[in-house]
Amino acid sequence: MKKLALFLLVVMLAASGAAVAIYSRVRAPYRGYAGAAQFVDIPPGAGTRAIGDRLVAAGVIRDQVTYRAALWWSGQSRRLKAGEYRFDAPMTPAEVLGKIARGEVYVINVTFPEGLTIAEMAKIFEAHGLGRASSFVAAARDTSLVRAFDPAAHDLEGYLFPETYAVSRHTDASALVRLMVQQFDRVMTPDLRAAARARGLAVRELVTLASIVEKETANPDERPVVAAVYENRLRIGMGLQCDPTVIYALELEGKYRGSLHHDDLSFDSPYNTYRYPGLPPGPIASPGRTSLEAAAHPSSVDYLYFVSRRDGSHQFARSLAEHNRNVRKYLVPHARGKGNGAAR
């Protein structure tokens, strides 16, 4: 009996010691990877054992025993979420499991400001390490994404909605372009489409007008007024004479020199609204929400001209004589430049 009691005591002490050792591991921060950071990808439907295998293999948790103990103590076994996770510092197993249970997946925030062209967006895509700019440009030629509302599109200019997109580091150009078009489709609500139709504008025409408004002014309060200027010109058959359309035409041909010159205004392109009446063939950039709203709901004003005050705002005019006075006041002796609001 004494031998049995002694044996049981040894077993209990051993078990107790093992429990203490495991408990200490569960509470101790651990880092078993050598690089600055370690990524762990948890696929959808992965079981707790498979998740543990990945965390242990990545050196994020010491071993399966520690993982199992932490999982039991945390009660997180049914809350672990799929996704890619980034670890860059020692963490306790409980902290690791908490991060996964909260779904704190690693994402790259890619911000596309309003008023950019496909080529400019492609540079941002490449700068975030998601792929080559050329792959983004190629993906933006997939017009099947907009065929339902613009069957005449030859690329996705204007339809890649400017916003911040949280994407994984494995997101390719095609996937991101698809997200951007989907967001455009959401922003173009049924009410906005109906407002465009009421003004006799197809989606492509609305986005084209909105892109011009976006390039002409960064002031949200002015956008409905700028839209009204161009709508008024279209209504009476007056040329838009919009500098940003000329810049876009030159950029398409790789001939833009950083500022507009007088001879540029005669450049032969359907996008040159100094030479060709009406709207250009398509959008010249990606407009934001306020510019789309402005194009669909322009102000009720009779202005036909505007000129930059060179402080971010514009001076509007109803007649050419009034406009010329504004030009002499605000532009002379400054040379013509990009986005100077020269609706002439």
Digit-coded pLDDT (tens) for 209-219: 999 999 999 99
Separation of alpha carbons 259 and 228, rounded Å: 26
For the CA atoms of the chain, what is the radius of gyration? Answer: 30
Q: Each residue of 257-295: pLDDT tens digit?
A: 888 998 999 999 999 999 999 999 999 999 999 999 999
pLDDT for res 1:
52
Q: Which two tokens stand for residue 318?
A: 């109803």
AA identity, residue 98: G
- Ordered by where they begin, the domains of the chain are 22-101 (3.30.1490.480), 108-187 (no CATH), 201-330 (no CATH)
Separation of alpha carbons 150 and 15, rounded Å: 71
AA identity, residue 194: A
Q: Each residue of 41-55: pLDDT tens digit?
A: 999 999 999 999 999
pLDDT for res 334:
58
Give one DSSP letter per residue of 163-207, joined into a string: SEEEE-TT--HHHHHHHHHHHHHHHS-HHHHHHHHHTT--HHHHH
Q: Is the dihedral of CA 91, 97, 100, 102 positive or negative?
A: negative
pLDDT for res 77:
86
Q: Judge whether residue 207 has pLDDT over 60.
A: yes
